[in-house]
Amino acid sequence: MKNLSRGALALCAALALTSCGSGSPSGDADDEPAEDTGAEAQDGELTEVEVGVIPIVDVASIYLGDQEGIFEEHGIDLTLTLAQGGAAIIPAVQSGDFDFGFSNVTSLLVAADSGLPLQMVAAGPQTTGDSENDFSAVMVKSDSGIETVADLEGKRVAVNTLNNIFDSVISEGVLEAGGDPANVDFVEVGFPDMIAQLESDNVDAVSAVDPFTTVADNEGYERIFAPFADVVDELGVGTYFASQQLVDEDPELVESFYTAMQESQAYADENPDAVREVLGEYTEIDQSVLSEIAIPTFPEEINLDSLEEVAEISERHGLIDESPNVDELVWEGAR
């Protein structure tokens, strides 16, 4: 569809993350032809597609789909480019540097509330619903004196990007516990740096996701709140999205991407050991830690009820001005 973005590659390099991407080679002449979904060019070439992702367990399904040849079967030559968070990926998708991106749903709601024309096109991870062992937790030092989410009032809490899903669900947790979420000081820290910032007392608590949650467990930090499992039932944490322009100009590519993501999500959900294995390919986490991490569920469809509830929470805590009609934010083929 386009040449690889110089701007996106520069973004990846600037963040100095582990890996910048992975691509699927075009098939040989002897290979079976890819399913005709509209993405593949008439001469048999695959359509180059670049997707912005984050180096966490949430995006394991798209890495597995690439590894298993699912995207190639649907006419897509996939490149995955790492960034710090969904809030950084959104402008890159909007500008056309990325064709699709992964983001938490709150950041997408904030973007839509700001007038950016984006469409959620495919499901991402969903909480396990297990408060004791979800893939996300708010973590503190064992001697911090912070024992519950209510104790976060007046504290500095690290989130990977501001105005994201952690802001909204942690604020809701504090409110439900009788505290004032307006007095929580959210500060932006990349996932790989959170433990060091906590150890140095630069923050009082961190909002981590696996594999970093399990690393923190093993280093003696304590979980005091499960932000994804404790606030919204079956919370759909993030989605893959595209610009409205891409949706309008190339609906066949969007359909192909959606179908490939459905199959990738199903494969990840059925193969947790493969999730652990592929996570080791785009992070620098030790294999012994990967064997311990909690795996999210990977639904095939976007959870609209969850999205509506997150929108209401985001409005309540001032992240957006008004709860949108969530149906209008979700690509019609994914509703």
pLDDT in tens, 253-279: 999 999 999 999 999 999 999 999 999
Q: Domain 6-127+235-334, what fold?
A: D-Maltodextrin-Binding Protein; domain 2 (3.40.190)
User: What span, in angstroms and rounded, lies between the C-alpha atoms of 205 and 196?
Assistant: 11
Model's pTM, two decimal places? 0.84
List, in sequence order, every beta strand (DSSP E) within the chain. Answer: 47-53, 76-82, 100-104, 118-123, 136-140, 156-159, 185-188, 205-209, 222-225, 238-243
Strands 222-225 and 205-209: unpaired
- The CA-based angle 251-254-259, given to 5 degrees, is 125
pLDDT in tens, 173-196: 999 999 999 999 999 999 999 999
The yes-or-no answer to whether 6-127+235-334 and 136-225 have a common fold is yes
pLDDT in tens, 80-128: 999 877 778 999 999 999 999 999 999 999 999 999 999 999 999 999 9
Domain range annotation of the chain: 6-127+235-334, 136-225
pLDDT of the residue at 43: 55
pLDDT of the residue at 284: 84
Mean pLDDT is highest, among 6-10, 55-59, 134-138, for 134-138
pLDDT of the residue at 21: 37
pLDDT of the residue at 268: 98
- Write down how long the chain is: 335
CATH C-level class of 136-225: alpha beta
User: Is the confidence at residue 9, as pLDDT, over 90?
Assistant: no
* Percentage of the chain lying above the pLDDT 90 cut: 79
* Percentage of the chain lying above the pLDDT 70 cut: 87
pLDDT of the residue at 10: 33
Q: Which of 65, 121, 78, 54 is nearest to 278 (CA)?
A: 65
pLDDT band for position 39 (cuts 50, 70, 90): low
User: Is the confidence at residue 294, as pLDDT, over 70?
Assistant: yes
Helix (H) or strand (E) holding 76: strand 76-82
